[in-house]
Amino acid sequence: MSGQESTSTFGRPLLRQNVWATRFGFYLAAISSALGLGNLWRFPFVTTENGGGAFVFLYFGVAIAIGLPILIGELMIGKLTRRGAVAAFRRLESDEDLSEGHRPGTFRAGPLAAFGCLLIVSYYAVVSGWVLHFLMQFAFGNFGPLGQASGHDVDLTLRLLQENGGMQFGLASVHIVIALVVVARGVQGGIERWASWMTPIFVLLMAVLVMKSLSSGQTVEALRFQFYPDFSRLNWNALQQAIGHVFFTLSIGLGTMVTFGSYLKSETHIPSAGFRVTVLDLVISAVAGLLVFPVSLGLSASGGPELLFRSLPRLLQDLQSGWFVGVSFFVCLYLGALAASIGLFESLVANIIEVFRLDRDRAVWLTGLVAVAFAAVPALSGSSLSHVSVAGRSVLEIWDSLAVNWLLPMSGLAFCLAVTRQLKASAATAEFQSDDSPITQSLYAHWRFAIVWIGPIVIGLGFLLTLIGWLLKSFGG
Ligand code: PFF
């Protein structure tokens, strides 16, 4: 650890002194970053747009075949270099112990990842603002039981919010400030402590709500929709969307897991950590589907980013103790969104500290200002920018699609290339097999094969199929 990295001008420890206090703390932070809004907000609407079960099948396959190997690769790069993404890739080019030297055909994945982080964190803040708004609606009792005149209409509430750009921008800014206050406190005092009480409560509440949702009448249709793979319903861009969503939900492709990996204690075995985070995240998305689909299948207009906000309040309004469960649920959903945002911000702040040699406090300020400026665009999507649309999609949806379906897979490809061509094979082998177990010895070749071949080929295929779909649509009538 170099001396110049030891303390900030405000007396707080700088980044490289940070490590997770416990291995469990790392799991909770990684899982809460993965939990976020991706499972409850994004998974249901992307699955609905892509016809249900076949997409879920594709998504699970992509998660295991390329999501898990890349997650392991990111954590490994972070742990070996002890840097955030931008500096980590620089180090991979020069450090003799870690690097195969400069190889033509690779480019630095760090800046692309950092830019993606900024894009995602800013529109993520807008959706987190929606969660805050719904939380307040429940807390102030504005959503009464269904059928009661006092009860606010869910669709109307959503529409009024979307048409109010100023309010969305305000809520997004509040969210950014809250997230950065935690990030400013550092790893153990902020992120780890935060995640350790938030994650268990969230999982428990979800379990309670799933039981309620499954008893709400549409269970059989919902299960069929989510798990029966009818491949004829897949669009040409379904593979690309599945890849993008896997990257989004596992928080990979943006360097967040490189940063989290850089705080791991040396004894942590990365493949096991990556495996646990992936499996838990997949289980939670399946559970989120069980929660949302039984309610959303009955809605007339059921797609788009508003799906969760249209369906869930209906279920909650219908409950005996709806107020209490509604408030608790939106508190947890908000905490999930906050945990994911904290991961994104931590990654950005780590990059700024290392690249510009700023202390943590200044890096936090700078990140906050840029993120608030970026958030203005998606926040105005339903008001001042409502006239801008491509193929019926709003600015927010286009932003989501560009960042998740295009930028994340490209960045993932760059990560695969970096691990394949720049990370010294002997360093990767030693790290992967550090637990001396015969299982990991034999899994190493599979991991390498997935990173070298399967990842790049599947990501390339996703882009190619999307392109074919476009051409067919443009020229095939
Ligand atoms: N994984 C988060 C979610 O599912 O909501 C979103 C996210 C967090 C994406 C961190 C990327 C990231 F680096």
407-425 per-position pLDDT tens digit: 999 999 999 988 888 888 8
Strongest mean pLDDT among 208-212, 350-354, 395-399, 450-454: 450-454
Residue 151 has pLDDT above 90, yes or no: no
Output the pLDDT for position 264: 85
Counting ligand 1 atoms within 8 A of each CB, the residue from 37, 39, 251, 407 with the most, and so the one to mutate, is 251
126 CA from centroid of ligand 1 (Å): 14
Percentage above 70 pLDDT, the chain: 87
- More confident call, 443 vs 297: 443
Output the pLDDT for position 190: 58
Residue 246 has pLDDT above 90, yes or no: yes
Per-residue pLDDT tens over the stretch 197-215: 777 777 788 888 888 888 8
32 CA from centroid of ligand 1 (Å): 9
281 CA from centroid of ligand 1 (Å): 11
Measured distance CA(450)–CA(416) in Å, rounded: 9
Ligand 1, atom nearest to 117 Cα: 13
Nearest to 363 by CA among 342, 375, 341, 348: 348
Measured distance CA(360)–CA(348) in Å, rounded: 11
Nearest to 67 by CA among 226, 275, 263, 229: 275
Q: Which residues line ligand 1 (CB under 6 A)?
A: 33-34, 36-38, 120, 248-249, 251, 254, 256, 340, 343-344
260 CA from centroid of ligand 1 (Å): 13
Give the residue whose CA is nearest to atom 7 of ligand 1.
251
333 CA from centroid of ligand 1 (Å): 13
> Which range has the worst mean pLDDT, 128-132, 154-158, 253-257?
154-158
- Residue 398's H or E segment, with its range, is helix 395-401
Residue 12 has pLDDT above 70, yes or no: no
Q: Which amino acid would we find at residue 261?
A: G
Q: What is the dihedral of CA 307, 310, 313, 316, to 10 degrees?
A: -70
Output the pLDDT for position 318: 73
Ligand 1, atom nearest to 340 Cα: 8
Residue 56 has pLDDT above 90, yes or no: yes
pLDDT level of residue 365 (50, 70, 90 thresholds):
very high
pLDDT level of residue 303 (50, 70, 90 thresholds):
low
- More confident call, 216 vs 93: 93
For the chain, the distance separating the N- and C-terminal CA atoms, rounded to the nearest angstrom, is: 62
- More confident call, 303 vs 29: 29
- More confident call, 20 vs 261: 261
Residue 117 has pLDDT above 50, yes or no: yes
Per-residue pLDDT tens over the stretch 136-149: 988 888 776 544 44
310 CA from centroid of ligand 1 (Å): 22
250 CA from centroid of ligand 1 (Å): 6
Output the pLDDT for position 390: 86
Give the residue whose CA is nearest to atom 4 of ligand 1.
38
Mean pLDDT for 38-42 is 91
Per-residue pLDDT tens over the stretch 262-295: 888 888 889 998 999 999 899 989 988 988 888 8
Output the pLDDT for position 2: 37
> Which range has the worst mean pLDDT, 196-210, 422-436, 445-459?
196-210
Q: Which two tokens stand for residue 89?
A: 């890739």
Residue 172 has pLDDT above 90, yes or no: yes
36 CA from centroid of ligand 1 (Å): 6
SS3 395: helix
Give the residue whose CA is nearest to atom 11 of ligand 1.
251
Ligand 1, atom nearest to 336 Cα: 5
pTM, entire model: 0.89
Residue 11 has pLDDT above 50, yes or no: no
pLDDT level of residue 6 (50, 70, 90 thresholds):
very low
Give the residue whose CA is nearest to atom 12 of ligand 1.
251
33 CA from centroid of ligand 1 (Å): 6
pLDDT level of residue 3 (50, 70, 90 thresholds):
very low
Q: What is the mean pLDDT of the chain?
A: 85
Q: What is the dihedral of CA 469, 472, 475, 477, to 10 degrees?
A: -110
Residue 18 has pLDDT above 70, yes or no: no
The β-bridge partners of 423 are: 99
Counting ligand 1 atoms within 8 A of each CB, the residue from 35, 42, 43, 120 with the most, and so the one to mutate, is 120
246 CA from centroid of ligand 1 (Å): 10
> Which range has the worst mean pLDDT, 69-83, 236-250, 264-278?
264-278
Measured distance CA(364)–CA(362) in Å, rounded: 5
Give the residue whose CA is nearest to atom 13 of ligand 1.
251
Give the residue whose CA is nearest to atom 10 of ligand 1.
251
Residue 364 has pLDDT above 90, yes or no: yes
Contacts of residue 108, defined as CB under 8 A and 6 or more positions apart, other chains included, come to 86, 89, 90, 93, 414
Percentage above 90 pLDDT, the chain: 44
Placement of tokens 């074919």 in the chain = 468
Residue 320 has pLDDT above 80, yes or no: no
Per-residue pLDDT tens over the stretch 78-88: 999 988 888 88
Q: What are the chain's domains?
A: 23-474 (1.10.4160)
DSSP 231: G
Ligand 1, atom nearest to 257 Cα: 13
Give alpha helix (H) positions in 15-108. 23-35, 43-49, 53-62, 68-81, 85-94
